[in-house]
Amino acid sequence: MKALVIIDLQNDFIPGGSLAVHGGDEIVPIINELQHKFDLVIATQDWHPLDHSSFAENHSGNKEFEVIKLNGIDQTLWPVHCVQNSKGAAFSPELNSEKIEAIFRKGTNKEIDSYSGFYDNAHLKSTGLSGYLKDKGVTKLYFCGLAADYCVYYSIMDALNEGFEAILIEDATKAISEEKFIEAKKDILRAGGGIIISKELD
């Protein structure tokens, strides 16, 4: 059984938002078109408290997009984004959410960032997504949403590690950095994942 995983299609990642991904709005109609082709559709939501340690604002002396060490791991410092219950954290109003059966929230612990929908960045705590999908009998996961080089990429790598087939729908995602996305795609293929375009889905 195959499921569609829609990663972080939230206002703050769409033009007009605080961490806007270029062209992020263009993928919404594609994702709306795709959904009926899947047995199950689920979504993730980046969901930070205001004092989250990934926000540059919470580190005096550091700037946005600077990389620092946080508890021993690299952390990019982001503009304030996807604050719990804010408009920026809400899904794009253009996204059809009728088929979304469950929403997995991440990034709620202020001490650690969480790019993947499965685990935090130190792989200490699971969101429960893997167990949920296995319980539903899902074996094949298709990924879309934002951002291609961060949350989509890390989710795919974790999905492969969890034993799922994992496929990126390339025209249904957009990257923050094109260079990072090129490397991310190589990594996905090397790890046994797939990359397709939405037209290839039956």
Q: For ligand VGL, which is the closer residue by CB, 65 or 136?
A: 65
Alpha-helical (H) ranges within the chain are: 28-34, 129-135, 153-161, 178-190
Kindly give the pairing relationship between strand 73-76 and strand 67-70: antiparallel
Q: For ligand VGL, which is the closer residue by CB, 46 or 158?
A: 46
Q: Choose the stretch contacting Zn ion; rule: CB under 5 A; options: 21-29, 38-46, 62-70, 177-185.
A: 38-46
The verdict on whether 106 is a catalytic residue reads: yes
Among 8, 25, 120, 158, binds ligand VGL (CB under 6 A): 8
Minimum distance from residue 182 beta carbon to ligand VGL (Å): 16
Q: For ligand VGL, which is the closer residue by CB, 24 or 193?
A: 24
Q: Residue 173, exposed/middle/buried by CB under 10 A (0-12, 13-18, 19+)?
A: buried
Token pair in block for residue 146: 């934002």
Name the catalytic one among 8, 12, 46, 113.
8
The verdict on whether 8 is a catalytic residue reads: yes
The verdict on whether 144 is a catalytic residue reads: no
Closest C-alpha among 126, 183, 151, 196 to residue 6: 151
CB atoms within 10 A of CB 71: 11
Name the catalytic one among 82, 106, 113, 144.
106
Count the helices and strands in the chain (H runs, E runs): 4, 8
Q: Is 151 in the site for ligand VGL (CB under 6 A)?
A: yes
Q: Choose the stretch contacting ligand VGL; rule: CB under 6 A; options: 66-74, 88-96, 145-153, 162-170.
A: 145-153
Among 25, 46, 120, 158, binds Zn ion (CB under 5 A): 46
Q: Is 77 in the site for ligand VGL (CB under 6 A)?
A: no
CA angle 86, 152, 61 (to 5 degrees): 60
Helix axes 178-190, 153-161, angle to 10 degrees: 10
Q: Is 146 in the site for ligand VGL (CB under 6 A)?
A: yes
Cα of 182 vs its chain's centroid, Å: 17
Question: In the complex, which residues of this chain contact ligand VGL (CB under 6 A)?
Answer: 8, 13, 46, 78, 115, 146-147, 150-151
Just list the catalytic residues.
8, 106, 151
